[in-house]
Amino acid sequence: MAIRKSLIFTIVFTVLCVSVSAALNLLGGPSTDGFAQPGAIVWVHLGAAFLGALCLARFLVGSPAAMAAPAPQSVMAVGVVPQLGAYRYRVSGKSAFFSATRSAQIVTVLFCLMAQFASVESPNTVIDPATNSIIHAKPHNGPLHRKILTT
């Protein structure tokens, strides 16, 4: 029964996140100066939303089991205090909560979240470096001339 609940949660959470991403991308969410995003960017956003939501849901579902898992064996270490001597202390093993799989899930969620904010600017948009403001440039149809920059 627990497996069925975790799979239902994973599917519902993933579908919900992909739906929100699709709605923002396809129904005119926050875009750059009204410029329509190419289809490839929309698919990247949807794929990143799917993968990120899937990894986050599996991370959340696996958290209670990872916290309850026994830690691997402990190690005895020797510490040295200057002018007093050496002492022995126990170093606990790595917790199952921070396993390589769970760390990879979190890193994947972060990369997928970063991909959600990738967008394409209009080819007619230029940023003025002096004022750091957007200039809507006119397309240039004539011949291009090189200018020599001097200091």
Model pLDDT for residues 16-71, shown as the tens digit of each residue: 988 988 887 777 655 555 556 677 888 888 899 999 999 999 998 888 777 776 66
Q: pLDDT averaged over the chain? A: 75
Q: How confident is the model at residue 73 (pLDDT cuts 50, 70, 90)?
A: low
Structural contact between residues 119 and 32, judged by C-beta atoms closer than 8 angstroms: yes
Check whether 107 has a pLDDT greater than 80: yes
* Residue 51 CB partners (closer than 8 Å, separation 6+): 108, 112
pLDDT of amino acid 81: 78
Q: pLDDT band for position 135 (50/70/90)?
A: low
Q: Is the pLDDT of residue 4 over 70?
A: yes
Angle subtended at Cα 99 by Cα 98 and Cα 104, rounded to the nearest 5 degrees:
95
In a 3-state reduction of DSSP, which class is residue 86? strand
Q: Are 115 and 42 in contact (CB under 8 A)?
A: no
Q: Can you read off the two tokens belonging to residue 44? A: 């990247």
Q: Are residues 44 and 116 in contact, defined by beta-carbon separation less than 8 angstroms?
A: no
Compute the distance between CA of residue 26 and CA of residue 108 in angstroms, rounded to an integer: 24
pTM metric for this prediction: 0.61
Mean pLDDT over 63-82 rounds to 71
Which amino acid does the sequence have at 53?
A
pLDDT score for 51: 93
